[in-house]
Amino acid sequence: MTRGTRLAFRPASGGGATKNLSSAAVSGRGRARADADPARALLEVRGVTIQYKTRNHLITATYRVGFNVLQGDRFVMLGPSGCGKSTVLKAVGGYLAPTEGEIRLKGELITKPGPDRIMVFQEFDQLLPWKTVLENVAFPLKATGTLRGKAADERAMHYIEKVKLANFAHSYPHMLSGGMKQRVAIARGMAMEPDILLMDEPFAALDALTRTRMQDELLALWDETRFTVLFVTHSIPEAIKIGSRILLLSPHPGQVKAEINSVPRGQENSDEAAALAREIHQMLFADQIEEAPNVSNG
């Protein structure tokens, strides 16, 4: 497969010892288990082909896509529209069954949706409009029976404070701006402390300024808790900024073009990042088009 040799250059991302410090303060559950076997990938996607039927056609969305996500990765799937990146994410979420290949989380085959993989969607209507911010964040905890009553509210409040929305805990979603809604959705995802957070272009519907701020905040949250995230985007600058590891997909059907390391944290404006952006650009599009490194195209 196309990945092959590049895997050798992979540095160990996220020191194992520091990983659990902040999450242990909230609860002992969750991340600790995966560290038992550091050699094993947290999420293994092997030879996944996904086909679906429309009224007249059988469409192959992805063809034999494979990659591994390790604990603490900020793993980005990048590609133009039609490359099946969201389809792969939905399959990891358990909403779609691959026609060929398999997806394993901690060695267990994924067959249906579950609270060990929380999805953050692009759409603003992912928050339940009949619940306040606090109730929304506490909802999965209570619905799955992870925590009850006050304990659930306390955990929810902890993550609402992390996304800086403590003042809006009792507001309803329709009173919030788009960026705030996405922050609630991220808090809701993180409050479950899932094995992996799945983000489907969560910032794509935001304006450019808010998007940049949200990217910074997401990275700040990652610095604190070192959660594992699988992030889908079609913006090269966003992929370079957010990702520690980038999977490039080609369109129609989606196939892996490359799996590469991003630049180190905080260097997304460096010459190195610009070179990487050009390299990715060349791989994704045959003819090169100039693009400023920090323009997040929507």
Partner 1 sequence: MFQTVERPNIYCETLGPDQFGIIEKPLTLAEKIYNQAWLRKIAILLLLAVLWEVYGRWLDNPLLVPTFSDTMRALITDFGNGTIPSRAWGSIEVLMLGFALGALLAGLLSVFAISTRVGADFLETMTAMFNPLPAIALLPLALIWFGLGSGSLIFVLVHSVMWAVALNTLAGFRSVSATVRMVGRNYNLNGLRFVVRILIPAAFPSILSGLKIGWAFAWRTLIAAELVFGVSSGQGGLGWYIFESKNQLNIPEVFAGLLTIILIGLAVENVVFRFIESRTVQRWGMQS
Which residues touch 255 (CB under 8 Å, ≥6 apart)?
A: 62, 63, 64, 65, 249
Helix, strand or coil for residue 126?
helix
Looking at the Cβ atoms of 116 and 279, the one nearer to partner 1 is 116
Q: How far is the CB of 124 from partner 1 (least distance, A)?
A: 9
Looking at the Cβ atoms of 200 and 268, the one nearer to partner 1 is 200
Q: How far is the CB of 30 from partner 1 (least distance, A)?
A: 16
Q: How far is the CB of 146 from partner 1 (least distance, A)?
A: 10
Looking at the Cβ atoms of 9 and 130, the one nearer to partner 1 is 130
The answer to whether 127 touches 189, Cβ cutoff 8 Å, is no
Q: How far is the CB of 113 from partner 1 (least distance, A)?
A: 4
What's the CA gap between 137 and 180, in Å, rounded? Answer: 13
Looking at the Cβ atoms of 119 and 263, the one nearer to partner 1 is 119
Q: How far is CA 151 from CA 87, 142, 148, 161, in A?
A: 35, 10, 6, 15
Looking at the Cβ atoms of 59 and 143, the one nearer to partner 1 is 143
Q: How far is CA 277 from CA 11, 117, 295, in A?
A: 20, 30, 11
Which residues touch 94 (CB under 8 Å, ≥6 apart)?
A: 110, 111, 112, 113, 114, 117
Q: How far is the CB of 174 from partner 1 (least distance, A)?
A: 3
Looking at the Cβ atoms of 27 and 212, the one nearer to partner 1 is 27
Tokens of 24: 């242990």
Query: Binding residues for partner 1, per CB under 8 A?
Result: 93, 95, 112-115, 117-119, 121, 123, 125-126, 128-130, 139-140, 143-144, 172-175
Instruction: For 83, list phi and psi in degrees, rounded to 5.
Output: -95, 0
**Interior CA angle at 295 toward 294 and 298, to 5°?**
140
Q: How far is the CB of 132 from partner 1 (least distance, A)?
A: 10
